[in-house]
Amino acid sequence: MVKIGDINLGEFPLLLAPMEDVSDPPFRALCKEQGCDMMYTEFISVEGLIRDATKSVQKLDIYDYERPVGIQIFGAEEDSMRRAAEIVEEAKPEVLDINFGCPVKKVTCKMAGAGILQDIDRMVKLTDIIVKSTNLPVTVKTRLGWDDNTIRIEEVAERLQDVGIKALSIHGRTRKQMYKGEADWTLIGKIKENPRVHIPIFGNGDINSPEKAKLYREKYGVDGIMIGRASIGNPWIFREVKHYFETGELLPPPTIKERVAAARQHLKHSIEWKGEKLGILEMRRHYTNYFRGFRNIKPYRMKLVTNFNPDDVFGILDQIEEDYSGVQI
């Protein structure tokens, strides 16, 4: 069994990666229903938390149905990280996760996210501060390195473990790669082979099918897999991967009815959580993925992304279900 501290995640957990503007409570609810074992919030700025910024504080919202859940924070200043850890603990997640992997320039230029991979000593010091500032299990998500010339992930794994983290998730790219090229899991596998490393190691990057999940599980020996972009508009990937692990068989793709039901639920919860205007607006990025592969879907999608009336949007979803009923996708 894989455990983070005292949290039992089962034999081989599937985790939902923290994704800005994606892994919010409405989306996490769908992923949990489809078999995700542990989920993470969108990443939260520690500076926003300690200044009580509305957007940052709202991201602390977690619900009993989605547990176990980890709240992920990012920052670069010691005092801010310490104070934010105390705020996160009050929200009562199962885990506090530190983002040392975000490649976005506005984050890295402040030496936060993947930016800190340029200063491993500081990375270790910040982690040590947070571990000592909370009673929650602390985990880290990071990348292989800043660029090809600064890959020190094996050292990072050992040193972060030594200051007390309980699990490490590794995206198999450098910061310089962003999301381009193919994720390299070779070093993730080497860390699992390191006799000094005893904490769970979760692999992340490019897992977009049950077959690939099984191949990487067997080839690299990771303790679990974190799925990110492949879950957007496709929460069914968790049930598909688990079914394939158990039976070696591929499930049929979700039906028209299931896709529309998921989109409806997502939209409903999005409006409830964010308010009508923002809930409808931020839902628009998901429709392409929910209805990917639908022939002649563009006119429907254009209506979905240009309409601000919730009744109209739900009506368009109903129309999609009716018009595509019985159509082979």
Apex CA 126: angle with CA 123 and CA 132, to 5°? 140
Element (H, E) at 188: helix 186-193
Q: What is the pLDDT of residue 58?
A: 93
Same domain? For 281 and 200 the reply is no
The CATH number for 303's domain is 1.10.1200
Same domain? For 129 and 277 the reply is no
Is 76 inside any structural domain?
A: yes
Residue where a domain stops, chosen among 193, 216, 247: 247
Same domain? For 223 and 265 the reply is no
| Predicted model pTM | 0.94
The answer to whether residue 195 scores a pLDDT higher than 70 is yes
Q: What is the pLDDT of residue 293?
A: 86
Q: How far apart are the first and last CA of the chain?
A: 38
- What band does 21 get if pLDDT is binned at 50, 70 and 90? confident
Q: How many domains does the chain have?
A: 2
Is 11 inside any structural domain?
A: yes
Same domain? For 219 and 288 the reply is no
Asked, as a colleague might, if the bond just before 68 is cis with ω within 30 of 0, I would say yes
Same domain? For 112 and 261 the reply is no
Is 125 inside any structural domain?
A: yes
Structural domain that includes position 274? 256-324
28-69 confidence digits (pLDDT tens): 999 999 999 999 999 999 999 999 898 899 999 999 999 999
- What band does 177 get if pLDDT is binned at 50, 70 and 90? very high
**Exposed e or buried b for every residue in 299-324, given b needs 16+ CB within 10 A?**
ebbebbeeeeeeeebeebbeebbeeb
Instruction: State the chain's mean pLDDT as an integer.
Output: 95
Is 81 inside any structural domain?
A: yes
Q: What is the pLDDT of residue 39?
A: 96
* Count of all residues that appear for the chain in the document: 329
CA distance 20 to 41: 8
- What band does 326 get if pLDDT is binned at 50, 70 and 90? confident
Asked if 88 and 134 touch (Cβ cutoff 8 Å), the reply is yes
At 279, give phi and psi (nearest 5°): -60, -40
- What band does 73 get if pLDDT is binned at 50, 70 and 90? very high
Is 143 inside any structural domain?
A: yes
**3-class SS of residue 99:** strand
Residue where a domain stops, chosen among 247, 270, 303: 247
Same domain? For 64 and 182 the reply is yes
Checking DSSP bridges between strand 201-204 and strand 7-8, what pairing results, if any? unpaired
Is 46 inside any structural domain?
A: yes
Same domain? For 273 and 206 the reply is no
Asked if 237 and 262 touch (Cβ cutoff 8 Å), the reply is no
237-279 confidence digits (pLDDT tens): 999 999 999 999 999 999 999 999 999 999 999 999 999 999 9
Closest C-alpha to 13, from 153, 121, 167, 148: 167
CA distance 243 to 173: 28
Q: What is the pLDDT of residue 329?
A: 61
Is residue 104 exposed (0-12), middle (13-18) or buried (19+ Cβ within 10 Å)?
middle
Residue where a domain stops, chosen among 247, 269, 287: 247
> Which positions ≥6 away from 213 have C-beta within 8 Å?
14, 207, 225, 227, 241, 244, 245
Q: What is the pLDDT of residue 27?
A: 96
Q: Which residues are catalytic?
A: 102
Q: What is the pLDDT of residue 325?
A: 86
- What band does 314 get if pLDDT is binned at 50, 70 and 90? very high
Is 237 inside any structural domain?
A: yes
Is 329 inside any structural domain?
A: no
Strand ranges for 46-144 from DSSP E: 69-74, 95-100, 138-143
